């Protein structure tokens, strides 16, 4: 929040320039909005003139000769104003909704191109509010705020012109009161802004807690800290209520004081100025209307400026997101040859074979403070079945991330088919890799839709075969509507094991040359695991596969087992060789074996 507060001190109009390009699409609506607001303020200026005429002519002179024309003209004016109000409101709405949608789409598309690391560094809540609330505020700024701004400024200018044209001396006296209003307003404004800022800060704290309360609901329940969470929530909302009521009081007091003080000042000026006696009643009434009418624009404009300053923060945050460059980026030459995700040039893609090589790779996570890999070398020729084992935090998933180019090496290269991965597009690589994540993710939709993400052209038989291969067929059959069962947001209606099986089937449907399984069977029972193990043994033929496993019994058949510790390969070889060696792998294996034996005895 402090960061935001300091940003608010910079120039208020600075950020707007970045939003202007988004208005280009809405030229017609802009014209309608501007025209509507100008007509609107002309009517506002015109009404007191009618009043003046009526009072001076019909009452002052006591004649009704022009009353018919007066009524016709007045009604025309009012009806015209209503029509223009309607037009400008519709245009305004179009701009607001349109700009909001364009910004959201752009932000959403841009988010798809950002790397893993962006999502590590920015919380879902943060990204969500950039895409949802910042865009909304900007949309309403460029529509309603601009409309109101033109209207209010137009009113002040028009009223001043009419007043000077009617009676320059009286006009001068009325205008002389304006600075007083501005002064009074600025005094209140400072306190109001402070109160509003406090309310906003509290509000975002409450929203944050609320989000946490929802996303962490299960953890909160298991830790039995509902009371504590509820306590702090209640405290925050109570303080929010206190502050909001305080601010509302301040605002009320402010309006009353403003009206009273400015009317009083106006009365004194007019009285001392000695012009009342010489002025017709109608003219005087018109001046009074203008004087009162000008208080609101003055208040509004000062208010709008402070609003603009806060919206600038929204603009800055959103443009920062839109300007964030992904850490993993295809160079211009690569895009020119291979295309990007929106326009892939598949005709230029070389068929992938599946050789993977790490050459003197050092790696550090963008927000990490130590090197996970240092001068790491590894050669995985096509068709090899590699198993990576090691303790938690050893760097196994990191290796998988680098192979998939979710991250790029800080130094050195990862070669795919003998060529630096960076020399080809990410899409080329990703379309050839099947990856089952440690934390599986499904999209909302049905099981079938999720499977088709792997291969949109898959036939019923292919789907059936893939499910059978990973023993997911029974799982799907058990579901209420089979393949057409909705899996819920992120697949949350399924168990983690079920999600893992479905994402496994999805990876197989894609028929990839390289298969990366990061603890793909961590959440399924031993029987299913054994079935999957058989499946893995079948499907890895003709592919390069990297299998990361905690349970060592599952990797016994691997062509080569790499034992990783602190980002280094400490042992490598086949199961039997490593067991004979009696080193790290042997110790890991026997310990696990003993644990499992104890567990089954106890169980």
Ligand X SMILES: Nc1ncnc2c1ncn2[C@@H]1O[C@H](COP(=O)(O)OP(=O)(O)OP(=O)(O)O)[C@@H](O)[C@H]1O
Cα torsion 533, 536, 538, 541: sign:
negative
The item of Mg ion, ligand X, none sharing an interface with residue 394, based on CB under 5 to 8 Å by kind, is ligand X
Q: Report the relative pairing of strands 419-420 and 373-380 from DSSP bridges.
A: unpaired
Angle 541-543-548 from CA coordinates, rounded to 5°: 95
Residue 43 · residue 81 · CB < 8 Å: yes
The item of Mg ion, ligand X, none sharing an interface with residue 246, based on CB under 5 to 8 Å by kind, is none
Window 184-213: residues binding Mg ion (CB under 5 A): none
For residue 546, list its beta bridge partners.
Answer: 386, 516
Window 399-458: residues binding Mg ion (CB under 5 A): 438
Q: Which is nearer to Mg ion, 317 or 550 (CB)?
A: 550
CB of 301 to ligand X, least distance (A): 48
Residue 374 burial (C-beta neighbours within 10 Å; 0-12, 13-18, 19+): middle
Can you spell out the DSSP letters for 543-570? SEEEEE-SSGGGGTT-SEEEEEETTEEE
The item of Mg ion, ligand X, none sharing an interface with residue 333, based on CB under 5 to 8 Å by kind, is none
The item of ligand X, Mg ion, none sharing an interface with residue 538, based on CB under 5 to 8 Å by kind, is none
Binding mask 394-413 for ligand X (x = CB under 6 A): xxxxx---------------
Binding mask 89-128 for ligand X (x = CB under 6 A): -------------------------------x--------
Q: Which is nearer to ligand X, 36 or 409 (CB)?
A: 409
Window 352-371: residues binding ligand X (CB under 6 A): 365, 367-368
Q: Which is nearer to ligand X, 296 or 391 (CB)?
A: 391
Residue nearest to Mg ion (CB): 397
Residue 410 · residue 389 · CB < 8 Å: no
Q: Which is nearer to ligand X, 396 or 543 (CB)?
A: 396
By CB under 6 A, the count of residues binding ligand X is 14
Binding mask 424-443 for ligand X (x = CB under 6 A): --------------x-----
Residue 387 · residue 578 · CB < 8 Å: no
Can you spell out the DSSP letters for 335-369? HHHHB-SSSB-GGGPPPP---EEEEEEEE--TT-S
Q: Which is nearer to ligand X, 327 or 449 (CB)?
A: 327
Distant-in-sequence, close-in-space partners of 222: CB < 8 Å, separation ≥ 6: none
For residue 568, list its beta bridge partners.
Answer: 565
CB of 2 to ligand X, least distance (A): 26
309 vs 332: CA distance, rounded Å? 37
The item of ligand X, Mg ion, none sharing an interface with residue 232, based on CB under 5 to 8 Å by kind, is none
Phi, psi angles (nearest 5°) of residue 325: -90, 135
Check binding of 32 to ligand X (CB under 6 A).
no
495 vs 300: CA distance, rounded Å? 55
In the 8-state DSSP scheme, what is residue 329? -
CB of 351 to Mg ion, least distance (A): 30
Window 258-287: residues binding ligand X (CB under 6 A): none
CB of 550 to ligand X, least distance (A): 6
CB of 569 to ligand X, least distance (A): 13
For residue 376, list its beta bridge partners.
Answer: 361
Residue 355 · residue 420 · CB < 8 Å: no
Residue 511 · residue 432 · CB < 8 Å: no
Per CB under 6 A, the list member of 392, 459, 538, 600 interacting with ligand X is 392
Per CB under 6 A, the list member of 179, 216, 246, 393 interacting with ligand X is 393
Per CB under 5 A, the list member of 145, 283, 384, 397 interacting with Mg ion is 397
Binding range to Mg ion, per CB under 5 A, among 131-139, 150-158, 397-405, 507-515: 397-405
Q: Report the relative pairing of strands 373-380 and 385-390 from DSSP bridges.
A: unpaired
CB of 399 to ligand X, least distance (A): 7
Residue 493 · residue 545 · CB < 8 Å: no
- For 287-327, the three-class secondary structure string (H helix, E strand, C coil) is HHHHHHHHHHHHHHHHHHHHHHHHHHHHHHHHHHHHHCCCC
**Order of strands, sheet of 544-548, starting from the edge strand that comes earlier in the sequence:** 433-436, 514-518, 544-548, 385-390, 560-565, 568-573
Q: Which is nearer to ligand X, 458 or 549 (CB)?
A: 549
Q: Which is nearer to ligand X, 45 or 524 (CB)?
A: 524
Q: Which is nearer to ligand X, 18 or 551 (CB)?
A: 551
Q: Which is nearer to ligand X, 365 or 453 (CB)?
A: 365
CB of 403 to ligand X, least distance (A): 12
CB of 593 to ligand X, least distance (A): 19
The item of ligand X, Mg ion, none sharing an interface with residue 576, based on CB under 5 to 8 Å by kind, is none
Count other Cβ atoms within 10 Å, centred on residue 542: 10
Distances (CA, A) of 34 to 89, 153, 191, 450, 545: 11, 12, 33, 48, 63
Q: Which is nearer to ligand X, 396 or 531 (CB)?
A: 396
The item of Mg ion, ligand X, none sharing an interface with residue 368, based on CB under 5 to 8 Å by kind, is ligand X
Interaction site with ligand X (CB under 6 A):
120, 365, 367-368, 372, 390, 392-398, 438
Interaction site with Mg ion (CB under 5 A):
397, 438
């Amino acid at each position: 929040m402090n960061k935001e507060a300091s940003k608010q001190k910079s120039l208020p109009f600075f950020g707007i320039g970045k939003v202007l390009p988004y208005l280009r699409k809405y030229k017609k609506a802009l014209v309608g909005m501007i025209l509507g607001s100008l007509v609107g303020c002309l009517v506002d200026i015109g009404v007191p003139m009618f009043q003046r005429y009526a009072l001076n002519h019909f009452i002052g002179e006591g004649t009704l000769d022009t009353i018919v024309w007066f009524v016709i003209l007045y009604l025309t004016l009012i009806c015209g104003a209503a029509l223009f109000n309607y037009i400008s409101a519709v245009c305004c709405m179009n701009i607001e909704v349109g700009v909001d949608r364009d910004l959201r789409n752009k932000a959403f598309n841009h988010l798809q191109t950002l790397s893993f690391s962006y999502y590590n560094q920015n919380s879902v809540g943060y990204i969500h509010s950039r895409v949802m609330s910042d865009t909304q505020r900007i949309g309403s700024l460029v529509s309603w705020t601009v409309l109101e701004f033109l209207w209010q400024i137009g009113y002040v200018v028009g009223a001043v012109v009419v007043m000077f044209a009617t009676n320059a001396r009286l006009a001068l006296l009325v205008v002389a009161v304006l600075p007083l209003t501005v002064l009074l307003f600025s005094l209140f404004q400072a306190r109001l802004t402070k109160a509003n800022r406090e309310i906003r800060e509290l509000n975002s704290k409450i929203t944050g807690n609320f989000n946490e309360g929802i996303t962490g609901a299960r953890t909160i329940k298991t830790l039995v800290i509902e009371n504590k969470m509820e306590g702090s929530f209640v405290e925050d909302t109570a303080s929010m209520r206190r502050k909001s009521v305080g601010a509302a009081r301040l605002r009320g007091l402010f309006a009353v004081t403003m009206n009273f003080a400015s009317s009083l000042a106006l009365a004194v000026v007019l009285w001392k100025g000695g012009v009342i006696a010489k002025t017709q009643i109608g003219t005087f009434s018109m001046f009074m209307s203008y004087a009162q009418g000008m208080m609101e624009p003055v208040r509004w404009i000062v208010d709008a400026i402070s609003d603009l300053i806060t919206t600038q923060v929204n603009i800055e945050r959103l443009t920062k997101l839109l300007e964030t460059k992904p850490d993993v980026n295809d160079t211009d030459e690569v895009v020119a040859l291979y295309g990007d995700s929106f326009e892939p040039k598949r005709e230029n893609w070389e068929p992938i074979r599946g050789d993977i090589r790490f050459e003197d790779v050092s790696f550090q996570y963008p927000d990490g403070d130590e090197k996970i890999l240092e001068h790491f070398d590894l050669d995985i020729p096509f068709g090899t079945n590699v198993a990576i084992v090691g303790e938690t935090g050893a760097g196994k998933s990191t290796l998988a991330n680098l192979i998939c180019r979710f991250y790029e090496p800080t130094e050195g290269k990862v070669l795919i088919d003998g060529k630096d991965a960076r020399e080809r597009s990410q899409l080329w690589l990703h379309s050839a890799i099947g990856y089952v994540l440690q934390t599986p993710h499904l999209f909302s939709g049905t099981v079938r839709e999720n499977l088709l993400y792997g291969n949109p052209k898959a036939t019923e038989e292919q789907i059936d075969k893939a499910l059978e291969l990973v023993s997911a067929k029974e799982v799907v059959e058990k579901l209420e509507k089979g393949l057409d069962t909705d899996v819920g947001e992120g697949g949350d209606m399924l168990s983690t094991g079920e999600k893992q099986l479905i994402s496994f089937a999805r990876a197989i449907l894609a028929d990839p040359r390289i298969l990366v399984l990061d603890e793909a069977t961590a959440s399924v029972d031993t029987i299913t695991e054994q079935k999957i193990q058989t499946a893995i043994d079948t499907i890895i033929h003709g592919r390069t596969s990297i299998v990361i496993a905690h349970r060592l019994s599952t990797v016994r058949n691997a062509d080569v087992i790499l034992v990783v510790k602190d980002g280094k390969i400490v042992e490598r070889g086949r199961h039997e060789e490593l067991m004979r060696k009696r080193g790290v792998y042997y110790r890991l294996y026997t310990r696990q074996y003993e644990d499992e034996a104890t567990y089954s005895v106890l169980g």
